[in-house]
Structure 1
Amino acid sequence: MSRTFFTSDHHFGHKNIIDFESRPFSGVEEMNAAMIESWNSVVAKEDKVFHLGDFSFLNRDKTRAIVERLHGYKVLILGNHDRGRSRGWWLDAGFDEVSEHPIVYQGFFFLSHEPMYMNKHMPYVNVHGHIHGQKYEGKSYFNVSVEHWEYKPVPFEQIRDSVAADEEQ
């Protein structure tokens, strides 16, 4: 049975992100290899992964080489660092689907790169990235940036159960 996962902000090939976000890697090659291994440790080939942006700073061939190594059917929602490249560029780099806009998942979860404005009366949850190690307060936001999740994609069930637990409080 396939599962669905969410993740964001890998910044493959981005040397400066190691210092910017205090990532525990000595260099880009180690970071890239560790993140591929972390992804594949939880995602099976038949699973679906929504990547919520800022995937790679590498050229198309190097990006494609990484995408090909990652398990799952991969959907990219373009992040601020991805938008300089066309939707076709990302499809050619190996993504199965690419969206330039947020996606509504199961009628309740807004999937976006940047956090969206959510007032306390909106009965939805914004699954997002972009803010890396920071966290928005409140039950309306769920940050899937890799820094919060040991560089592993987050299973949908974990997000759903976390939101349900917040509502019970």
Structure 2
Amino acid sequence: MPTDFFISDHHFGHKNMIDFESRPFSNVEEMTSEMIAAWNSVVGNEDKVFHLGDFSFLNQEKTKEIVSSLNGYKFLILGNHDRGRTRSWWLDAGFHEVSEHPIIYKHFFFLSHEPMYMNKHMPYVNVHGHIHGQKYEGKSYFNVCVEHWAYKPVTFEQIRDSVVVSEEQA
């Protein structure tokens, strides 16, 4: 049975990200190959991956090479660094689906690039990226940035179980 995965903020091709986030790579080429290997170590061809933005700083040809080397059905929610390119640019780069806006997943999970304001009366859990190594406190937020997950996409079950969602809500 296929699995749904979530991840964000690979920043493929962004050399400065190695220093900004103390990533354990000596150069951008090593970062690219290690992140592709990490993705493919958990994602199969039948699985679906929701990438929550800031995928690549590379040109379309190089981005397409990376996207095509990653397992699974790939759904991109545009991040702040992705929005300079059109939705069709990302589809042409190989993503199966692209959204310019956050989406609701399983009636309870709010998927967005940037963390969204969630007050105690909102019934959603915000699955997000953007803040890299930082983490928001509380059960209303779940950060899927690569830095938190050893560069591997995280399963829906891992997210659900960590926020202790009741069966009526999931």
**TM range, smaller chain:** over 0.9
Q: How does 1:134-145 map to 2 (within 5 A)?
A: 134-145=134-145
Which residue identity is paired with 1:32?
T
SS in 2 for 1:74: strand
Tell me the distance in 2 between the aligned counterparts of 1:120 and 1:29: 43
Q: Cα deviations across residues 18-70 of structure 1 (Å, max 9, x unaligned)? A: 00000000000000000000000000000000000000000000000000000
SS in 1 for 2:164: helix
Aligned to 2:55: 55
Which residue identity is paired with 1:129?
G
Q: Cα deviations across residues 64-121 of structure 1 (Å, max 9, x unaligned)? A: 0000000000000000000000000000000000000001000000000000000012
Aligned to 1:101: 101
CA displacement at 1:165 relative to structure 2 = 7.1
Aligned to 1:27: 27
Which residue identity is paired with 1:72?
G
Aligned length: 166
Q: How does 1:27-106 map to 2 (within 5 A)?
A: 27-106=27-106
Identity percentage of aligned residues = 80
SS in 2 for 1:88: helix
- Please, what TM-score do these two structures have when normalized by structure 2? 0.96
Aligned to 2:15: 15
Which residue identity is paired with 2:157?
E
SS in 1 for 2:113: coil
Q: Which runs of 4+ in 1 moved over 6 A?
A: none
Tell me the distance in 1 between the aligned counterparts of 2:139 and 2:120: 9
Q: Cα deviations across residues 134-163 of structure 1 (Å, max 9, x unaligned)? A: 000110000000000000000000001111
Aligned to 1:146: 146
Tell me the distance in 2 between the aligned counterparts of 1:25 and 1:116: 30
2:116 is the counterpart of 1:116: yes
Tell me the distance in 2 between the aligned counterparts of 1:101 and 1:26: 34
TM-align CA RMSD: 1.0
